[in-house]
Chains A and B, each alone.
Chain A
Amino acid sequence: MLLLLRFDSKTVREPIISMTSIKTGTPINILKADVGARRGEIIVEVPEERAKEVEKILIEMEVEVQEITKTIARNDNCVHCGLCISICPTEVFRLNGENKVEMKTEKCIHCGACIKVCPTMALYFPI
């Protein structure tokens, strides 16, 4: 499960990820972090079965938590060239047995790199 965490000027200074990891005994994998002086946004990956517990602890520590459910999507423009394959940091895309580009959307971390490289503008984030 991927969680988007939003930190405000107070919580951004606390070692919240480590504290949550210790309290819940759950490994938390940081996939993307954008931390400034007064606010921050971090995308983390937590095991599916521990997600609720982790979320509870984070909310108690006044972090805004959002489950990422809408991942990268594709329209009919795709010609299955595969240019996205080597760009994606988490290997969402691969060619299947039919030589079509297959997407493992659960691995998507919302970085948007593939959207910018797709020559047929086939990739997008659903709103």
Chain B
Amino acid sequence: MKSIEEINAKIREGSVCVVTAKEMKEIVTEMGTKKAAKEVDVVTTGTFGAMCSTGVFINFGHADPPIKFKRVWLNDVEAYTGMAAVDIFLGATKISETREFYGGAHVIEELVFGKEVEMRAIGFGTDCYPRKEILTSISLQDVNQAVMVNPRNAYQRYRAATNSSERILRTYMGTLLPNYGNVTFAGTGEISPMNNDPEFRTIGIGTRIFLCGARGYIIGEGTQHSPPFGTLMVKGNLKEMKPDFLKACYFPGYAPSIFLGIGIPIPVLDDEIAKATGIKDDEIKTTIIDFGVPRRDRPTVREVSYAELKSGKVEINGQDVRVSPLSSYYIAEKVMKELKKMIEKGEFFLSMPVERVKRNEIFKPMKQREIRIVREFMTKAVTINEDLSIEDAAMLMIQKNVNHLPVVDKEKVLKGIVTSWDIAKAITVGARRVEEVMTRDVVTVFPDEPIAIAISKLEKYDISALPVIDNKKRVLGIVTSETISKMLGV
């Protein structure tokens, strides 16, 4: 048993034994937990990944005459101003109003690099803050405080992503190729901070951490914290951060984001902590989920360990699928080594939490007023066979007063669709049977999908109806933009 005071005394004397989490795995395997607990004082953990829930509070000081910000932009990226006169919060994923592939993350990066950014603001014009606009350039040296405060960072583990659909998906998990073409995953597994202290004995409120090269602090559990998918809320001084441990990025089709380097030192107080820091990738499990289904609860494709993910290939439906990480182990290792060096040099002391974070919490879904599903909007489909003549199809449309005829086989399985437009086309090209003019690649929906999904499909493909099918592709009905408009009153 060691106390944090004893460890800090050793740091002061220069006799502390610090190892990285990567080194600790070998030490625990070789020596066993008892001996490892005795020999090692501190284990440094690290991660370096895109962390969207990141931002910076900045206070600019007062202009003359003074202004209370109504709206403010840094390099044309808008920041939040609903606080005191010249306090703002700039979020990492906010998109620039004028520049492509540029956002809050890039402004934060430029500031850390020591560059100037343009600040433009409009004010309310009050008796106490009469000024109505200002345009100036600022760097980190010019502002009073620039404090990074991140609601959710350093995910303990994360669900890996794949895509069963037939189109490329551009997501915050990177580009996902069709038909399970690849898998992407985030997190550094066995060297990631929370995996090395899963009971949150030393990682808690008030713990001093390495945040992008600066000394930072944990200020609470992160939003959506739900161990073993734990998260942390952290803060640190942007003015002390180093460009090596922070990188702005942009995920095509999604938004800007920012790679952050976070390191947490774990004091090895007893055998139990030594054992926890010996954890290996094959013991850390997550799931691969399917982004091809655009729902909140995406289906799980399979369970997987970080060891399998890091091997570069995982098996899905009997096929080897290639895997891409989203976090950089290379820089995560640099974080662990840098933190180790800081502790050895006596520049970084450890602290115990003043309060522990919750070890069991549930991540609730959003409370919605109602979720209306496709089934409510579905009407009876008038179906036909593919050998029907154009004349008969035209007649049927008039008789039944419909514009869409799903084409089915004997088992009611969807084969295509014919619209009144197709009938017009058939006449101009002299087609005789519906199979000659029908659309074979039909966009469909399932009855229990939210109506919002049907609406986005109608808009995306610029069509006016979707056959509703079951999982055997049998036609159950049809949902048309006309019915949706009528029922939603838009």
Selected contact of B322 from candidates A85, A98, A121, CB within 8 Å: A85
Q: How far is the CA of A120 from the CA of B102 in the complex (A)?
A: 11
Whether B177 pairs with A87 at a CB distance below 8 angstroms is yes
| Contact status A80-B330, CB under 8 Å | yes
Indicate if the CB atoms of A120 and B249 lie closer than 8 Å.
yes
With A85-B312, A86-B182 given, is the CB distance from A117 to B329 under 8 Å? no
Known: A99-B330, A116-B252. A79 touches B325 (CB 8 A): no
**A87-B175, A87-B177, A99-B330 given; A81·B325 CB < 8 A:** yes
Question: Cβ of B175 and Cβ of A116 under 8 Å apart?
Answer: yes
Asked, given contacts A79-B48, A83-B174, whether A99 binds B252 with beta carbons under 8 Å apart, the answer is no
State whether B330 touches A83 (Cβ < 8 A). no
| B329 adjacent to A95 (CB under 8 Å) | yes
Instruction: Tell me whether B331 is interfacial, beta carbon within 8 Å.
Output: yes
B323 contacts across to A, CB distance below 8 A: 85-86
Interface residues on A, range: 20 to 34
In the complex, A32 Cα to B326 Cα: how many Å? 28
- B184, A86: Cβ atoms under 8 Å? yes
Contact of A81 (CB < 8 Å), options: B252, B321, B322, B328: B328
Complex CA–CA separation, A79 to B181 (angstroms): 24
Q: Among A77, A95, A98, A99, which residue has the most Cβ atoms of chain B within 10 A? A: A99
CB distance from B24 to the nearest CB of A (A): 17
B124 at the interface (CB under 8 A from A): no
| Residues in A whose Cβ lies below 8 Å from that of B330 | 79-80, 98-100
Residues of B within 8 A of A81 (CB): 49-50, 259, 325-328
Binding site for A on B (CB under 8 A): 48-50, 101, 174-175, 177, 181-184, 247-252, 257, 259, 312, 321-331, 333
Whether the pair B324, A87 counts as a contact (CB closer than 8 A) is yes
A119 beta carbon closer than 8 Å to chain B: yes
The yes or no answer to A40 lying at the interface (CB within 8 A) is no
Q: Which residue of B lies closest to A116 (CB)?
A: B252
5 pairs, A vs B, C-beta closer than 8 Å:
A81-B327, A83-B324, A119-B250, A120-B247, A121-B250
Interface centre among A83, A95, A120, A121 (most CB of B within 10 A): A83
Contact A119 B48 (CB under 8 A): no
Rounded to whole angstroms, the CA-CA distance of A75 and B175 in the bound complex is 21
Asked if B324 and A85 make an inter-chain contact with CB atoms under 8 angstroms apart, the answer reads yes
A84 within 8 A of B: yes
Residues of A with C-beta under 8 A to B184 = 83, 86
In the bound complex, what is the Cα–Cα distance between A18 and B248 (angstroms)? Answer: 49
4 cross-chain pairs, A with B, having the tightest CB-CB distances, nearest first: A86-B182, A119-B249, A86-B324, A86-B322
Residue of B177, B251, B328 near A79 (CB, 8 A) is B328
Q: Min CB distance, A12 to chain B, in Å?
A: 28
Report Cα–Cα, A119/B249, bound state, in Å: 5
Interchain nearest-CB distance for A98 vs B (Å): 6
Contacts of A82 in B (CB 8 A): 324-326, 328
Query: In whole Å, how far is B208's beta carbon from the nearest beta carbon of chain A?
Result: 25
CB closest residue in chain B, given A120: B249
Given contact pairs A79-B48, A83-B184, A99-B333, A121 touches B328 in the complex (Cβ within 8 A): no
4 more A-B contacts (CB under 8 A) besides A83-B324, A95-B329, A119-B259? Answer: A79-B328, A80-B331, A85-B324, A120-B247
Q: Which residues on B sit within 8 Å (CB–CB) of A85? A: 312, 322-325
| Docked complex Cα distance between A79 and B244 (Å) | 9
Chain B residues near A77 (CB, 8 Å)?
247
Residues of A within 8 A of B251 (CB): 119
Contact with B along A84-111 (1 / 0, CB 8 A): 1111000000110011100000000000
B228 CB to closest chain A CB, in angstroms?
A: 23
In the complex where A86-B182, A87-B175 touch, is A121 in contact with B101 (Cβ < 8 A)? yes
Contact B328 A117 (CB under 8 A): no
The reply to whether B50 and A119 contact each other, CB–CB distance below 8 Å, is yes
Residues in B whose Cβ lies below 8 Å from that of A80: 328-331
* Complex alpha-carbon distance, A121 and B102, angstroms: 11
Q: How far is the CA of A98 from the CA of B252 in the complex (A)?
A: 28
B173 nearest in chain A by CB position: A83
Q: Which residues from B are CB-within-8-Å of A87?
A: 175, 177, 182, 324
Contacts of A83 in B (CB 8 A): 174-175, 184, 324-326
Which A residues are in CB contact (< 8 Å) with B174? 83, 117, 119
The distance from the CB of A40 to the nearest CB of chain B, in whole angstroms, is 25
**In the assembled complex, which residues on chain A have CB atoms less than 8 Å from the CB atom of B249?**
79, 119-120
Which residue of the partner chain B has the closest CB to A96?
B330
Nearest residue, chain A, Cβ from B174: A83
Alpha-carbon gap, A100 to B330, bound state (A): 6
Complexed CA–CA distance, A85 and B183 (Å)? 10
Report the nearest A residue to B246, measured CB to CB: A79
Cβ of B230 to closest chain A Cβ, rounded Å: 22
Inter-chain contacts of B177 with A (CB < 8 A): 86-87
A86 to B248, CA, bound (A): 22
Alpha-carbon gap, A86 to B183, bound state (A): 7
B175 contact from A98, A99, A117, A121, Cβ within 8 A = A117
Residues of A within 8 A of B327 (CB): 81
| Centre residue among B48, B174, B177, B333 by max chain A CB count within 10 A | B174
Q: What is the CA–CA distance of A42 and B50 in the complex, to the nearest angstrom?
A: 38
Return the CB mask of A2-26 against B: 1 if under 8 Å, else 0: 0000000000000000000000000
Write the nearest CB–CB distance from A122 to chain B, whole angstroms. 10
- Which residue of chain A is the closest to B323 with respect to CB atoms? A86
Report B-chain residues with C-beta under 8 Å of the C-beta of A86.
177, 181-184, 321-324
